[in-house]
Structure 1
Amino acid sequence: MTSELPIGILDSGFGGLSVARAVRARFPGERILFAADCAYAPYGDRDESYIMERLERIIGYLTDRNVKAIVFACNTATAVGVKTFRERLSIPIIGIEPAVFPAVRHTRQGVVGVLATTTTIRSRKYAEVRERALEWAAVSRPMKVEVLDMPCPGLMECVERGDFGSEKLEALLEKYVDPLARAGADEIVLGCTHYPFLANAISRHAKGAHLIDPAPAVAEQLGRRLADLDLLAPASPDRPADAGAALDEFRATGADPGRESVLRSLWGKDARLLPLSA
């Protein structure tokens, strides 16, 4: 395995681009192979057997392409499958989880809101993260801290269709975000990688609240793992600092012109969407 190989990043849809964006910003010399399972999304309201079946296919594609690491840029996929694939594969597998601990650490009002998919909130992995954060807060914070979980069916789909300001989106935000704001949440965890693309709209419904996006932390963890294995793309005088960007590749199940348009709105006008057979 060489450092010139791409980093595989997967998601049920285009939300994982928020993580890919953080990876691109932190490591401009790396190549990204992004795999979105758009035709079979959303994962967030599916049962675990369905999600595992899809992950088998997407990860099979990425390993066939000889990626040097795989980033699960999907909270639901991480909650359901990351442990299995870490045990099975020898390359670094980086997951993502709702950033409850930073929220609990920094809340001033003692109220944290978590926006996530139904499957993420119901998962054992999230329950463990939540419990550890609250146990820490019980002995380390001067006030009582509570975490309010908010499943958000339908919100991910808004990003998938490029909807960042419709009446339907506003109705969903009123349903999911407004109750957290009324409860006094001053830290709101974006527990799905699609939600950073709705940050401005969410902030309008939770004025003054701090939104937490875990993507930069995921990029840092990826960098640590690659550095440990001497797999970071090399820097040299004859290699442009942003050499990886020109080689970025975006694939999706169900790729079509409409989805390519959404990709370009999220990543850039020159992005091209290629089909993913998985």
Structure 2
Amino acid sequence: MDKNINPIGLFDSGIGGTSIWKEIHTLLPNENTIYLADSINAPYGQKTKEEIIELSFKNTEFLLEQNSKIIVVACNTATTNAIKELRAKYDVPIIGIEPAIKPAAIHTKTKSIGILATKGTLSSELFYKTVSNLEGINVIEQVGYDLVKLIEEGKIDSNEITELLKTYLQPMIEANIDYLVLGCSHYPYLVPQIKKILPESVKIIDSGEAVARQTKLVLEKNDLLNNSNKKGDLKFYVNSDPTVLESILENKYTVTKKDF
């Protein structure tokens, strides 16, 4: 069987990784994809490293059972806590996502940048190493407590999220940041709200486009690109109420509820 037509498998703790999926699908519209939302266990950011690794194994095995040719860990927390273990255990290419700290550090003029991420990402060894290598840059770290939970509940435009964002972003504004790094794949859905709070001069960056480009490069390198001219077959699975995932996908796609 032609491996090239096998799907790209993506997983996240919930709906947030669809922000990564959208970038990959935009860049590679002919690729078949399978997206897995482990919403029943969201958020990952409050779990132990061991729990995150175990859930990442479970999700990866589900995607491999569907013949995924490559795995995209569309979750910052799972990447920063489990990517090493995933690559050691499985022999397919595995792509992770990390907060876009480096480009923010390179381009900052004020030498002050903010990062909004989960506790699991900010407390990870991988994140610590990245930040430790930055010289002369003031990094304002903020855990986005309850943001993933509220997004998973479909409350993206709620006053509750607005008030939390104001609390989290105010210290960054006072520290004169000129870049805000979104360190969770759920957070791009909050950009309209964030823009209302931050000064216009602050640039907001996430990892989506970079992950899509990296996915294409890895597929090319491994001779796994789908050369078909027809649009990709897109599948979505969730292990909780599919309503919120369907809504975030603008009800354009069928979402299958499945226990896994």
Match of 1:163 among 155, 158, 169: 155
- Superposition pairs of residues 1-278 of structure 1, within 5 angstroms: 2-132=3-133, 134=134, 138=135, 144-208=136-200, 209-235=202-228, 239-240=229-230, 243-244=231-232, 247-254=233-240, 256=241, 259-260=242-243, 262-278=244-260
C-alpha distance in structure 1 between counterparts of 2:252 and 2:99, whole Å? 31
Displacement after TM superposition at 1:56 (Å)? 2.0
- What letter matches 1:219 in structure 2? A
Which SS does the other structure have where 2:120 is aligned?
Answer: helix
- What letter matches 2:144 in structure 1? C
C-alpha distance in structure 1 between counterparts of 2:63 and 2:236, whole Å? 12
Which SS does the other structure have where 1:15 is aligned?
Answer: coil
C-alpha distance in structure 1 between counterparts of 2:158 and 2:62, whole Å? 35
Q: State the superposition RMSD in angstroms.
A: 1.2
Moved more, 17-26 or 156-165: 156-165
- What letter matches 2:81 in structure 1? V
Indicate if the aligned counterparts of 2:74 and 2:96 stay in contact, CA closer than 8 A: yes
Query: TM-score scaled to structure 2, two decimals?
Result: 0.96
In the TM superposition, what whole-angstrom CA distance separates every residue of 1:224-264 from its partner, at most 9, and x where no partner exists? 111011101104xxx33xx11xx20000112x2xx32x223
- What letter matches 1:250 in structure 2? F
Query: TM-score scaled to structure 1, two decimals?
Result: 0.90
Count of paired positions? 258
C-alpha distance in structure 2 between counterparts of 1:67 and 1:221, whole Å? 17
In the TM superposition, what whole-angstrom CA distance separates every residue of 1:1-48 from its partner, at most 9, and x where no partner exists? 611000000000000000000000100001110001001111001111
C-alpha distance in structure 2 between counterparts of 1:42 and 1:13, whole Å? 8
- Quick one: percent identity of the two aligned structures? 34
Displacement after TM superposition at 1:70 (Å)? 0.3
Which SS does the other structure have where 1:115 is aligned?
Answer: strand
- What letter matches 2:162 in structure 1? E
- What letter matches 2:219 in structure 1? L
Displacement after TM superposition at 1:165 (Å)? 2.1
Q: Which runs of 4+ in 1 moved over 6 A?
A: none
Which SS does the other structure have where 2:4 is aligned?
Answer: coil
Indicate if the aligned counterparts of 1:45 and 1:153 stay in contact, CA closer than 8 A: no
- What letter matches 1:251 in structure 2? Y
Displacement after TM superposition at 1:57 (Å)? 1.4
Displacement after TM superposition at 1:270 (Å)? 2.2
Indicate if the aligned counterparts of 1:263 and 1:271 stay in contact, CA closer than 8 A: no
C-alpha distance in structure 1 between counterparts of 2:257 and 2:176, whole Å? 44
Indicate if the aligned counterparts of 2:53 and 2:85 stay in contact, CA closer than 8 A: no
Q: Which runs of 5+ in 1 are unaligned?
A: 139-143
C-alpha distance in structure 1 between counterparts of 2:5 and 2:77, whole Å? 29
Moved more, 52-61 or 18-27: 52-61
